[in-house]
């Protein structure tokens, strides 16, 4: 069946397209099923994308710099990433979350989530923004999550074995976040029924856990301690690369001028105050962080 000829001038059709809601981009993409519209959209994609971006997503170029060209696909990916970040932030700031991010750190945490999309060698302030996310996401998973990461894993009481396992799992949780990005946090905190997050965590536990537990462990009553059992190929001890979380902490310790074992406590004490550098972060400050810069300097 032949496609009906569209008699409207291209300028009018483009105006109509530009005034459609972009939302998640699927409706705009569906217009390409019509050959004439497909040709028109592809010919003017840069200007159409720029219009939608300026109207609905004006911060996208700062939050998600496009590596190649401005495109509708890139803008749709931005929307998807924003939705994921919003869902994670909702979990991390939920009023019933006993370890929720404090209001003065909310904007910095949002910037930290955006920074997870582009890890690199960056200065202290962006690293602290990322750490705020890691810290509160880990605690949220501990007290409100599901699966191995939750506090309910450790039985009726905690001794050195339970504490050791919890430290390992929470280290692997942070490592999975840095390796996978906000998608992992979304799977673990927003959509815990999806087994993808737990599988990712266990894969990192297989790579980075000590696995020196003997099975069966002591006590076989309900609620007793039983560490996870994982199977798979393991690298030789000397062949394991340095973890991203260790690299982040070492870099923070270097910039803080303190020992590695002290850096987490030092940063956590500082971000609890309402007047630290990233507190109540403004848009211009967020832009500097996303450029990989300290707020000053």
Reported as a single tens digit per residue, the pLDDT across 114-136 is: 988 876 667 899 999 999 999 99
Maximum alpha-carbon separation in the chain: 79
The confidence score (pLDDT) of residue 279 equals 94
- What's the chain's average pLDDT? 84
- pTM to 2 decimal places: 0.76
Distance CA 189, CA 125 (A): 25
Residue tagged 């590695």 (tokens): 260
Higher pLDDT, 192 or 240: 192
C-beta of residue 173 within 8 angstroms of C-beta of residue 138: yes
Query: What are the tens digits of pLDDT across the range 131-183?
Result: 999 999 999 999 998 888 888 777 666 777 778 888 889 999 999 999 998 99
Predicted pLDDT at 121: 63
Q: Which of the 8 DSSP states describes residue 233?
A: -
The yes-or-no verdict on residue 242 having pLDDT over 80 is no
Question: Which alpha helices (DSSP H) does 145-218 contain, by range?
Answer: 160-180, 182-185, 195-208
Distance CA(272)–CA(108), nearest Å, equals: 13
């Amino acid at each position: 069946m032949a496609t009906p000829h569209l008699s409207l001038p291209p300028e009018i059709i483009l105006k109509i397209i530009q005034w459609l809601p972009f939302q998640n981009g699927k409706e705009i993409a569906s217009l390409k099923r019509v050959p004439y519209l497909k040709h028109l959209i592809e010919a003017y994609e840069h200007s159409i994308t720029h219009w939608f971006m300026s109207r609905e997503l004006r911060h996208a170029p700062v939050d998600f710099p496009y590596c190649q060209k401005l495109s509708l696909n890139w803008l749709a990916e931005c929307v998807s990433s924003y939705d994921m970040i919003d869902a994670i932030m909702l979990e991390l700031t939920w009023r019933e979350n006993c370890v929720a991010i404090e209001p003065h750190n909310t904007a910095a945490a949002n910037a930290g989530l955006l920074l997870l999309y582009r890890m690199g060698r960056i200065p202290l302030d962006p690293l602290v923004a990322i750490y705020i996310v890691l810290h509160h996401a880990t605690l949220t998973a501990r007290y409100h999550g599901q699966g191995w990461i939750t506090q309910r894993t450790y039985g009726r009481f905690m001794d050195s074995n339970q504490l050791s396992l919890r430290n390992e799992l929470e280290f692997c949780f942070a490592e999975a976040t840095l390796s996978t990005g906000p998608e992992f946090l979304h799977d673990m905190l927003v959509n815990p029924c999806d087994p993808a997050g737990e599988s990712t965590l266990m894969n990192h536990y297989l790579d980075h856990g000590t696995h020196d537990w003997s099975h069966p462990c002591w006590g076989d009553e309900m609620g007793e301690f039983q560490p996870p059992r994982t199977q798979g190929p393991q690298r030789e001890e000397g062949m394991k690369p340095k973890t991203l979380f260790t690299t982040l902490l070492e870099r923070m310790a270097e910039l803080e001028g303190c020992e590695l074992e002290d850096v987490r406590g030092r940063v956590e004490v500082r971000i609890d105050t309402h007047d630290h550098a990233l507190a109540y972060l403004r848009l211009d400050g967020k832009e500097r962080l996303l450029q990989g810069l300290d707020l000053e300097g």
